[in-house]
Amino acid sequence: MPITISGDGTITGLSAGGLPNDSITLANMAHGTDGQILTYDAAGAPVALGPGTDGQVLTSTGSGSPPAFEAVSASKWTQGSSTSVGTGTTVLITGIPATAVMIVLTYNHISCASSNEDNFIMRCGTSSGITGNAGENRGLSAYMQDNDSGEVNGGDDNIPLGPYAFTAHDGYYHGHVILTKWDTGKYHAQGACFQSLSSITGAPTLYSITLTGEVYLGAALERIQMQWHNGTGTFDDGDYAIAYLEA
């Protein structure tokens, strides 16, 4: 039986037990505001929530309080775009925030314009610049090709990104390095790359390379520099990208 209210306030159709189940329709409800959601407050009373603003999402605020419309948290990952290495002797990457706890450097098709260059290396620095003090950047690369294997020690001021010297335009590096913060100003480096090297006869040779290292800076890592070990070789091909995760 439908519930009706007459002009004198007489209600019919209401049982002694109160409103019957399923008797209230949308048409019976009071009008609200577009975008509002009905929920309950901490006292258990019904409350209209919202509306929020464009782009917000409905989130739980925990037990004892109604949910809320809130902005979506920004991603803690920042991905940079691919950038050419250019034709200089160094590639300096800046803009890494001090709050980064993981930094990923990827590089592709890197080659040198000079002949018989030494190793392709990476050095790290703080907001003050690239450091060069002994013990602040140190690493080791190990390579394997067919039955040949070896290693290159980066010394006390660099982390080698590739251990094999080659003639100009004759080889390319492709790989990545992950720098993970484990203490203030201290980072562990690990990565891998492969080097494609064509001999004078044109027969292709591939070197599989793994690398590891440690960076001790005394402050947050905020820049990375790629270069050739002797400091005079110039880049002539390749690109790189940087990504980082903030705490």
227: Cβ contacts below 8 Å, ≥ 6 apart: 89, 90, 91, 121, 123, 233
Closest CA to 191 of 224, 226, 142, 239: 142
CB 107 within 8 A of CB 242: no
CB 118 within 8 A of CB 126: no
C-alpha to C-alpha distance for 223 and 162, rounded to whole angstroms: 20
Closest CA to 179 of 210, 213, 152, 202: 213
In one-letter notation, the amino acid at residue 119 is N
Per-residue pLDDT of the chain (247 residues; tens, 9 = 90+): 566 667 666 767 666 566 677 777 788 778 888 888 888 888 888 888 888 888 889 898 888 888 888 988 777 899 989 999 999 999 999 999 999 999 999 999 888 887 655 578 888 889 998 875 555 556 555 555 444 555 555 555 677 776 554 444 457 888 999 999 999 999 998 888 877 765 434 455 566 777 778 888 889 999 999 988 777 888 988 999 999 999 8
C-alpha to C-alpha distance for 178 and 187, rounded to whole angstroms: 9
